[in-house]
A and B are shown apart, each in its own frame.
Chain A
Amino acid sequence: MQNKPVLLTILDAASIIVLGIATYLALVFAPTEAVMGQVQRVFYFHIGTAWVGLLGFVIAAVAGVAYLITKDSRWDRFEVAAVEVSTVFFFITIVLGSIWARPAWNTWWTWDPRLTTAAITELIYIAYFMLRKGIEDPEKRARFGAVYTLLGGISAPITFMVIRLFRTIHPIVIGSANANQEKMSMTGDMKIAFFFGLFAFTVIFIDLIWHRIRLGSLEEKVEQLKLKVSM
């Protein structure tokens, strides 16, 4: 069995430290927002998790294409890792968004384009896991998974564009306008918390993906050993 690389151990420690600092910056350091009050602090983690969530889906689509071209199972492990970690982060984004929306918009959920697209995107990647679960042959599983992440990665932005059309008939323009204003009116300290949040979640994301890839190769080894025993 491979030993855990030193760099990964360092990254583990770094993840914990940056998460701690990001939490401090978001909860204590950043000034309280004038209109929304304390609940606005959820924003720093909301954006951080959303960023790595989307990043992971894009990475997965790229890894999927790379797999289809090279047929190298390492790309497949990378793709699974990216999708798995991102699905969790994206779910956290949605939950944090709901927590924020309840006091800010007075509702847990609204059919705003961003929210709807987020929900559909999450469903695409849940379907991805169901697809993989239904296939026994690892090579075929990897191929189908790659094709589906590619389809999902292209469909999600178009979904966003289409849903934006629907908003024009509903005059409730909350969400996008609000978020933009917020970014515009961020003070210096808020910006520090905001960008550090992005950085912290990127580090955590890389750390988790690395772990997941290692887990993936261990899984493959176990599968091979099982085959050997049964023969």
Chain B
Amino acid sequence: MHKLLSKRPSLRALTLPGLAFLLAMFFGALLIAFSDSTVLKHIGHPLAFLKAAGVAVWQSYLALFEGSVYNPSLATPHDALLSWYPLSETLVTAAPLMLAGLSVALAFRAGLFNIGAQGQFIFGSIAASYVGFHFHLPLGVHLIAAVLAAVVAGALWGGLVGLLKARTGAHEVIVTIMLNYVALYFLMWLLGTTRFLRPGRRDPISPDVLTSARMPLLAGSNYRVNLGIFVALAAATFVWWLLTRSTWGFRFRAVGANSAAAKTAGISVPFVMTSVMAISGALAGLGGAVHVLGSDFSLTSGTAGNFGFDAITVALLGRAKPMGVVFASILFGALRAGGGTMQANTSTPIDIVLVIQALVVLFIAAPSVVKWVFRLKNVKTTGELAAKGWNG
């Protein structure tokens, strides 16, 4: 545990995630090459095959970059800055992902695996959008009310898990997996009720959130980037402060490190479990709010997309640390944003992003693989992903 607690901000800490990412991109490249029909035509001629494979991979990854960071062809004579438009899209995707990732990371640090960020995200977006489209409130107040509603909804849905674990010992993984489905079906039912149905529509979509409840745009109406990213960064700072500077955070980490010892030391483990899961849920709910009030504006059955599940990969890549989550969510946000462009412009589907995400996390979790591939020695690896199982 002393390894986890000691702070050594060095570049070495980035070696493993960096190499894991490279390795995952390499496997992604193989997948692109070996599933491309024009590449496979040259299978009998090694040189031509390599060339075609290189072209296919280069085009896909270039599109990925152009869809997430910088695309010169978007610039207009009046506005050269527009070529950075993709970066705005990356930040739009990264903001809810960061919040949901922080939710998972915080729970990890207290020894809880929150698979339920998806359900908490759903409840957050339901609450935020309901307050956003149903009530008419003054500018500013409206946004704050909608955000607070989402935080409370997420906290309740998450806190329930902590309470059940504390009172009955029900494993949070099982409960959260099940509650994710309950949340999804609840959302689907809600969208069929007259209260949530958009007037004049019969398909399940809610009315748009009123302008007064939307996140203010940061860079003018040409870009979708909004206050959400700052909300997420503020939350990351809060989680960092909570974990490293507050008594509460110390208790959380103590329970995460060894709950029996924490109990002996006089820490109320049930209280910690419930409050961690409530804060965790609040963060994921806030993610739902940022998504609905910042970029999506309406509620559909697919509102939560994959955010809650991507959040787990984000938290794992970020090694359950707030700073790590910030970088990991921007990276995965970029992959998501760029993946759309890649799918539109090349024959490579966006789903390769999922493969890359899974592989990155797998390599992070099993550093021995990365070490073996790159013949590394003395790379910092911590045991924070040690196995526990149902009875842990």
Pair from one complex:
no
